[in-house]
Amino acid sequence: MAESNVTDIFSYKNNVLYVEGNNLYLTNGNTTKVILDNYSGDLILSTNSRLIFKDQLIVNTLDGVVRINDDGSVTPIGGGFDPNWLKPFTTDRSGNNLIAGGRVNKLHYDGSTAFRFQLEYGGGFTVNESSDKVFFFNERNSEIKTNTFFNSETLEYGKLPEEVQDYVVVDYFENNGEAFLIMRSGFNPYDKLYIFRTDDSFSEVDLVNEYLDVGYLSTAKFTRYYDEGFLYSGDYIFLMNEENEFFPLENIKGNDFPYVEEQSGNLFFLAIDPEFGRQLFTTKLLSFITSTENIEEQKNNINVFPNPASEVLNLPEFGKPAFDNAQQYSVYSMNGCLVDSGITSGLINIRKYLPGSYVLKIKSEGQQTKETIFIKQ
C-alpha cells in the first residue's frame, strides 16, 4: 500500500475532499480528481483554509481565494495576496459578509461580489470584533496601534475617531435609528466600559456613559426586541427603551460568555445571582418607566401604607389576607428594572430591597393594572 500524506479530509454536498501537500482532491466514491494544485493548507491550519459560506465552499489558495462549485469546478474570487501572510477567514456576526486575504491586502466577499481594500496603519493586525455589518481591526506597527473599521454595506474603510483610539472595541450595534459603539479599557477584573453614540461612518463619537470596574469584559451581545433592546456586556446587563436609554439590571451580574436568546417574546440569558450563583434568567422587555408624572395622574392608583416603609407594604383594598384574593404584583426601580414579582393577598415583604423609590404594579382579577409609587427606607 502506497504511503499517504493526507493532512485534511472533509465532505461537501455529495463529495469528499482531501488534501495531500498543496493538492486538493475531490472524489465521489467512483472517481478522483485534482481540483487544486495550489491549496494553502500547509501554510495555515487546513480547517482555517476553507469555509462553508452561504452554502458555498470557499478556500484559500497560494494565488488567492476561490469558490469550489458543486461539480468540482473552480471559480476565482480574488487574488494577489502574499501566500506567506495569508489569514484565516473571518465572517461578521450576521454571517452575511466575509473578510479574507493577507496581512495588509484584504478581500470582502458577500457571496456574489468581491471588493478589495488595503489596511493603512500597520502591517500586523487582529480583528477585534465584528457586528452585523462592520469589521473592526487593531492595526499595529513598531510604534503605535490604530483602531480601524470596514463597513460591509458602504464598503468604507477608515480610522476610528481619536477619542476612542486608546480603547478596545467590544461591540457595535444599531437601534431605533441610532448607532452605539461599546469599548473597554483596563485589565481583568477591573475593565472599564464606555458607551458611545456614533453613526455607521464613525465620523464622530459622543460618550453616553462610562462604568468603572465592570469585571471581565471580553465580549458583548445586543439583542433587539421590537423597538427596545437588551445589551449583555461584562458584569453589566442593560435594558434599553425605545428612546435608546440604558438601564442596568440591578442585583445580578453578567456571565463571562454571554448567552442571550429570544424565544416567543421572552429573552433568556445567563447571569450570576449574588445568592444562588450562575442561573438562567428570563424576562420580557416592558415599556420602561422614566418619569413619575404619568403615574401620579392615573386614576387607577392603589393605596399602600406605610409609605415610606422599611419592612412590609400593606395593601388595604384587598381586605383580609386570603389566598382567594391573591393578585399578581411586580415591583420596578425608577429606571424601569424589574426588582421583584409574585402573588400577594395584601402584604408585600420589602426587607431585602435597597433604599429608594419603587413602582408597584398590581394586576386585578379583570386583568386591569393599577400602580403607585412607594419609598423603601
Instruction: Convert the pLDDT of each residue in 59-89 to its tens digit.
Output: 998 889 999 998 889 999 998 888 777 788 8
Where do runs of H (alpha helix) occur along the chain? Answer: 293-297
Confidence band, pLDDT 50/70/90 cuts, at residue 129:
low
Higher pLDDT, 151 or 333: 151
Of 44-48, 51-55, 166-170, 208-212, where does mean pLDDT reach its minimum?
A: 44-48
What pLDDT score was predicted for residue 148? 93
- The average pLDDT across 132-157 equals 89
Q: What is the CA radius of gyration of the chain?
A: 28
Confidence band, pLDDT 50/70/90 cuts, at residue 366:
low
Confidence band, pLDDT 50/70/90 cuts, at residue 43:
low
pTM beyond cutoff 0.85:
no
Instruction: Convert the pLDDT of each residue in 222-272 to its tens digit.
Output: 888 767 788 888 888 888 888 898 888 877 888 767 778 777 667 788 888
- The average pLDDT across 339-356 equals 81
Express as a percent the part of the chain with pLDDT over 90: 24
What pLDDT score was predicted for residue 307? 80
pLDDT over 50 at 103, yes or no:
yes
Q: Which domains does the chain have, with CATH numbers?
A: 1-112 (2.130.10.10), 160-288 (no CATH), 293-376 (2.60.40)
What pLDDT score was predicted for residue 45? 59
Taking alpha carbons only, the member of 232, 263, 224 closest to residue 249 is: 232
- Amino acid residing at 353: Y
Higher pLDDT, 326 or 110: 110
pLDDT over 60 at 121, yes or no:
yes
What pLDDT score was predicted for residue 298? 43
Confidence band, pLDDT 50/70/90 cuts, at residue 202:
very high
- The average pLDDT across 327-333 equals 80
pLDDT over 50 at 285, yes or no:
no
What pLDDT score was predicted for residue 292? 41
- For residue 80 the three cell numbers come to 494577489
Longest Cα–Cα distance of the chain, Å, equals: 90
- The average pLDDT across 83-96 equals 84
Q: Is the dihedral of CA 155, 158, 164, 165 positive or negative?
A: positive
DSSP-derived 3-state class of residue 375: strand
- The average pLDDT across 148-166 equals 94
What pLDDT score was predicted for residue 293? 45
Express as a percent the part of the chain with pLDDT over 70: 84
What pLDDT score was predicted for residue 126? 55
What pLDDT score was predicted for residue 324? 46
Residue environment code for 62-89, b if the CB has 16+ CB neighbours within 10 A, otherwise e:
bebbbbbeeebeeeebbeebeeeebbeb
Q: How many Å apart are CA 318 and CA 300, to the nearest integer?
A: 14
Q: How many Å apart are CA 312 and CA 348, to the nearest integer?
A: 6
Q: How many Å apart are CA 320 and CA 38, to the nearest integer?
A: 83
pLDDT over 70 at 367, yes or no:
no
DSSP for 282-314, written as a single string: EE-PPPP---SHHHHH-TT----BSSSBSSEEE
Confidence band, pLDDT 50/70/90 cuts, at residue 35:
very high
pLDDT over 90 at 108, yes or no:
yes
Q: How many Å apart are CA 322 and CA 270, to the nearest integer?
A: 36
What pLDDT score was predicted for residue 179? 93
Instruction: Convert the pLDDT of each residue in 178-201 to its tens digit.
Output: 999 999 888 766 788 999 999 889
Instruction: Spell out the residues 6+ positions from residue 3 whose beta carbon is closer than 8 angstroms to its own.
Output: none
Q: How many Å apart are CA 257 and CA 234, to the nearest integer?
A: 8
Q: How far is CA 46 from CA 13, 40, 247, in A?
A: 19, 8, 45
Output DSSP code: residue 317. Answer: G
Output DSSP code: residue 354. Answer: P
CA angle 285, 287, 289 (to 5 degrees): 120
